[in-house]
Amino acid sequence: MSAFEMLASGVSSPADVATIDAGSTAWMLTSCALVLLMVPGLAMFYGGLVRRKNVLSTMMHSFLAMAVIGVQWIVIGYALCFGTDHGGIIGFDWDKFCLSGIAYNAVYGDKHIPELVFVMFQGKFAIITPALISGAIAERMKLSSYVLFIVLWSTLIYCPLAHWVWADGGWLLRYGVLDFAGGTVVHVSSGVAALVMALMIGRRLKVANESMEPGNLILTVTGAGFLWFGWFGFNAGSAIASEVPAAGSIAGLAFATTQTAAAAGGLAWIVVEFMRTGRCTSLGLVSGILAGLVAITPAAGYVEPRWALVIGLVAGTLCYLAVHFKERAHVYDDALDAFGVHGVGGAWGGIATGIFCFMPAAGLIAGSGTQLVKQVAGLAAAAVFAGVGTFAIAWVLKATVGLRVSEEQELAGLDQSIHGEKSYRLIAS
């Protein structure tokens, strides 16, 4: 019986509506909105980093994810992630296909929130993850190929991985891997996928003597502010959505550690930058803040604020070195450093969880190395799965519809050549 048939017939959901907690529901609705705000924030962050001729096309990658994955999640994504477990690998049941069997007042597990609210909250994670990958292929990927890629990647990579780590029966959850709000599921997977896509699609072209410098750092800095603001919903909201005790208290802890690590990450980046170049840049500061946010994500509800300081400081330093290495080595063109920040920062955050966690398991500093071993194993499994899966999807697309726009379109800029629009219009004085 569908949710609407239940409503029409007067049949209630299996769970009593009285078990829904108004406070938890209100915070989760707020968290949903905060996480969705991160996607326009990401669009601004990425859009300011590309050349002016590609600002709109780059921002459109994030907004397209909101539309495309917003539909995919309702139709099949949620069912694959949080449907009935099948062998610890994937979920599915027809009641969750198109959300047809979820009553409006059905409660999600023992979390005292409507399941539809949980659906919406998790859907925002599914949206932003492929949008993060777009930073690696900015300024040169075909729009049609991008749409096909994010649908395939979300369905074949993100959904199984989210089931492994977060869903009842998932094999990494059963093994004991901790990922509070997406360090493995979101950041490591998207970071590794970004690296693979950057290698598969090749380096950007440029007109002779054309600068590759960011086109509008004001846009990037503003976007970073939206990301930081939204990240409180990303992490603190996960306290109620996740299987943790004392959700209200843990939400407060996650809020505090998120703020702490972000600040420490920004500080670490500009200190290292100043030691190397004698300057502190605005781009360095916001990149460090983002690195701290990425790193604390898997650990936010499991570590104390003092250790969040350490996590953020190390994240800012490691991610700076990763980005600097890419720029010096010229091995691949990860246009907007999705791997350097999200891949490296997410991996460090997963390892740091095994070092500093105090609940639900003791970390290395408490004298137990067991959790650290589990974290490393989980990170390796996620990285291999995301890397191999991304390569397979990209190879098929490259062999069939192609990945790149034409050379003429790329040199002219995608805003004009693909979309027929201009992001900036010069006004004659």
Domain harbouring 129, CATH code: 1.10.3430.10
pLDDT of amino acid 149: 98
Compute the Cα dihedral for 130, 260, 378, 344 and give only its sign.
Answer: positive
Q: Is residue 422 part of a domain?
A: no
Which residue, 247, 221, 282, 258, is CA-closest to 34?
A: 258
* Structural domain boundaries enclosing 100: 3-417
Q: Is residue 218 part of a domain?
A: yes
pLDDT of amino acid 7: 37
Q: Is residue 309 part of a domain?
A: yes
Q: Is residue 425 part of a domain?
A: no
Tens of pLDDT, residues 220-245: 999 999 999 999 999 999 998 665 54
| Local structure of 63: helix, strand or coil | helix
Which residue, 187, 193, 125, 124, is CA-closest to 157?
A: 193
Tens of pLDDT, residues 311-330: 999 999 999 999 999 988 88
Give the other-Cβ count within 10 Å of 66's Cβ.
Answer: 18
Alpha carbon distance 54, 139 (integer Å): 6
Predicted model pTM: 0.93
Q: Is residue 82 part of a domain?
A: yes
Q: In whole angstroms, how far apart are CA 169 and each of 81, 84, 91?
A: 11, 9, 9
Which segments of the chain have a pLDDT < 50?
A: 1-18, 245-246, 428-429
Q: Is residue 426 part of a domain?
A: no
pLDDT of amino acid 200: 97
Alpha carbon distance 151, 75 (integer Å): 12
pLDDT of amino acid 242: 62
Q: Is residue 343 part of a domain?
A: yes
Q: Is residue 366 part of a domain?
A: yes
pLDDT of amino acid 15: 43
Domain count, the chain: 1
pLDDT of amino acid 8: 39
| Local structure of 242: helix, strand or coil | coil
Please state the φ and ψ torsions of residue 7, each to the nearest 5 degrees.
-65, -45
pLDDT of amino acid 375: 98
pLDDT of amino acid 23: 87
> What tokens does 144 get?
């049609």
Q: What angle do CA 358, 364, 367 make, to 5 degrees?
A: 90
